[in-house]
Amino acid sequence: MTRSASRYLPAARSLFQYTLAIAVVLLFANVASAQDAPDAEAGTAQKENLVLFMIKSLGFVFGPLLLALSVAMMALVVLLALDLRMSSAIPPGFVDEFTDIVNKRKFKEAFDMARNDPSFLGQVLTAGMSRLQYGLEDAREAAMNTLDAIKSDKEQKNNYNAVIASLGPMIGLVGTVYGMIKSFSVLAIPGVQVKPAELADGISHALVVTLFGVGISVPAIFFNAFYRNRITKVMMDVGHIADDLLTQMYHNSKKAAGGAAVGPSGASPSGTVPAAPTGR
């Protein structure tokens, strides 16, 4: 677990730095234009930064809520991006090295190699090889069960992107209703002259919350569809390769045992250890 968490630290640190840089650029986007603008008209109010205005319009309830949703979405996107890399699912050189070891009939070394590898292929092979002595079909079933468990874990994480995609517009709708109620409450006061600033405050709140809600929902929908297809592709590749390697190991073990498949430790189901091959 510690080794797995340490893999994500550089990516998380880079994500935080990029997010901070973008926030700084957005917050001070109009500083240069404000400095270059001539002060010809004295007494005119300086135009407020649009980003700061929108952040202020979000309020103390919807602002932190939408921020938490956006942070959760980015964390899920980065986590799934790291988990679903092809190098994490099928390490480079693993298949060739494993095949070479199996062809040399070093089954214990092949089992240890798969067990010590944290990749998807290593986990699937470990489960299948532990049942290989009971037959190829039993090994395939154990391997596919492990593959289904890995796929289910990734799909559960990806489903949260779908939840965020649904929550964004809903929160935006709640903010819209609240902002409109706030605006109409100003109009409903009898005998009081309506101030445009008070009326605009509720309307701006409604529009800004809706904008941010939809802004969070759109990328969440995209990443949910993208990772759903990615999970399917990666799991199919891992399943096909694992099945080929298990079949190859099964036939090599039968040759080594003189017709009976052997387990990872080199023992047949009856407990007898096959004789070493002659010639080399």
pLDDT digits (tens, 9 = 90+) for 245-260: 999 888 887 776 555 5
What is this structure's pTM? 0.71
Q: Please check whether residue 41 lies inside any domain of the structure.
A: no
pLDDT (tens digit, 9 = 90+) per residue, 201-242?
788 888 888 899 999 999 999 999 999 999 999 999 999 999
CA 175, 176, 178, 183 dihedral sign is: positive
State the Cα angle at 160 between 157 and 165, rounded to 5°.
145
Residues 180 and 210: beta-carbon distance below 8 Å: no
End-to-end, the C-alpha distance of the chain in Å comes to 42
Q: Please check whether residue 6 lies inside any domain of the structure.
A: no
Higher pLDDT, 139 or 189: 139
Residue span of the structural domain in which 250 resides:
48-127+135-257
Which candidate, 261, 256, 263, 262, places its Cα nearest to that of 278?
256
- Average pLDDT, stretch 159-172? 92
142 falls in which pLDDT band (50, 70, 90)?
very high
pLDDT (tens digit, 9 = 90+) per residue, 49-76?
777 877 787 778 888 888 999 999 999 9
Q: Report the alpha-carbon distance of residue 155 to residue 175 in Å, rounded.
A: 30
36 falls in which pLDDT band (50, 70, 90)?
very low
Is pLDDT of 141 > 80?
yes
Is pLDDT of 1 > 50?
no
Q: Please check whether residue 216 lies inside any domain of the structure.
A: yes
Residue with tokens 């309506």: 194
pLDDT (tens digit, 9 = 90+) per residue, 178-193?
888 888 877 777 766 7
Q: Report the alpha-carbon distance of residue 25 to residue 45 in Å, rounded.
A: 23
- Average pLDDT, stretch 16-27? 51
DSSP characters over 78-124: HHHHHHT-HHHHS-TTHHHHHHHHHHTT-HHHHHHHHHT--SHHHHH
Residue with tokens 């407020």: 48
Q: Please check whether residue 188 lies inside any domain of the structure.
A: yes
Q: Please check whether residue 16 lies inside any domain of the structure.
A: no
Contacts for 183 with CB less than 8 Å, ≥ 6 apart: 199, 201, 202, 203, 206
Considering the chain, what is the average pLDDT of its residues? 78
Residue with tokens 């289910």: 152
Q: Please check whether residue 250 lies inside any domain of the structure.
A: yes
Is pLDDT of 34 > 50?
no
Q: Please check whether residue 277 lies inside any domain of the structure.
A: no
How many structural domains is the chain composed of? 1
Q: Report the alpha-carbon distance of residue 101 to residue 106 in Å, rounded.
A: 6
Largest CA distance in the chain: 108
For residue 9, what pLDDT is reported?
A: 54
Residue with tokens 């990328």: 219
Q: Please check whether residue 22 lies inside any domain of the structure.
A: no
